[in-house]
Amino acid sequence: MTFSTVVKNELAKLDSNRLENISELSCIIRNSAYIDNDIKISIENNAIARRIYLFFKSIYEVSPIITIRQKIHFYRGFILTINKKVDDILKDLSIIDNNNNYLDIPRDYIISDEEQTRAYLRGLFICCGSINDPKTSRYHLEFIVNTKSYASFINDLLNCFNLNSKVIKREKNYMVYIKEAEKISDFLRLIKAYNAVMYYEDIRIYRDHKNMTNRLNNCEQANVDKIFLTSSRQLQDIDILKKNDLIDLLDDKLQEVVKYRLKYKEASLQELSDIISRDTKNKITKSGLNHRFRKIREIVSNIKDK
């Protein structure tokens, strides 16, 4: 079972009032129905089909005819057919106007307050929404709709709630999508899929924590590599000085850092400066220690030049 199906099953069990049901049903009819002399709604989810059936029965006192259609891989779908009060229902749901002309977008009364808008977006997800499981490699929520004007309407509706949605053309249709994990979680909360929100947030927090841990480990490894390369270069310079019998000719401060570097070969500059400061009771900073090693490198460079 996909995560989208899990969310839709949760939404199918929600209680809502009559106005919210009308808003939700308006969106479902607009996006999932074939309309001629009757209304045929194509739905793949059994729980959603039952919800739509109950909406028609409670709001319009009409019992849809349910046809079970067989799909490939033994996956069933459902067609709900309404052949009574068709024009009255379509007008009430703001699918057509009083002259029976199709409306590109619903009238304002369908989304007249926040709860009705939430219900409309809930219907949108039920009929044409898809969401990636947060366990996968990317966060993605999308809605596939038919027209550019309707895509813009949905995009504006989502962005009323600051969800940062966007629209792109996709073959013959339009896709309205959200990519940000936090905004997707906000959408699930908006349509009242609270169990899905808890699951989504748990996985998201786990993934973010894991990614942060990996980044910290990578930074730590990079620092270890840098320390190793710096120490290795300094030991190479010291080895050249030893081969040329030049250690005893260095001043006391340079001889001191040579002595401690040979003793603590894997220490970072900060660690080495702390050790020298503690042992000698003379404070030396990491910058001061680095300056002494630069002097040694200059001496080695002169030797190589000669």
pLDDT at residue 138, as a whole number: 82
Q: What is the CATH number of domain 9-192?
A: 3.10.28.10
Averaged pLDDT, groups of 10, the chain, 306 residues long: 91 93 95 90 88 93 85 68 92 92 93 94 94 84 94 95 93 92 92 91 76 70 75 85 82 85 84 86 86 86 76
- Domain boundaries, given as residue ranges, for the chain: 9-192, 209-305
* Pair of tokens at residue 52: 């739509």
Task: Say whether 265 sits in a helix, a strand or coil.
Answer: coil
Q: Which residues contact 142 (CB under 8 A, 6 or more apart)?
A: 129, 130, 131, 175, 176, 177, 178
Tally of CB atoms within 10 A around 147: 12
H or E element in which residue 33 lies: strand 33-35
Prediction pTM value: 0.69
Give pLDDT, residue 306: 66
Ordered DSSP codes for 132-200? --TTSSS--EEEEES-HHHHHHHHHHHHTTT---EEEEETTEEEEEE--HHHHHHHHHHTT-HHHHHHH
Write down the pLDDT at residue 70.
Answer: 66
Give pLDDT, residue 291: 87
91 CB contacts (<8 Å, ≥6 apart)? 97, 98
Long-range contacts of 53-59 (CB under 8 A, 24+ apart): 53/80, 55/21, 55/24, 55/25, 56/25, 56/80, 56/82, 56/89, 58/18, 58/21, 59/18, 59/21, 59/22, 59/25
pLDDT at res. 61: 93
Q: For residue 143, which phi and psi values (nearest 5 degrees)?
A: -130, 130
Report which residue type is found at 238. I
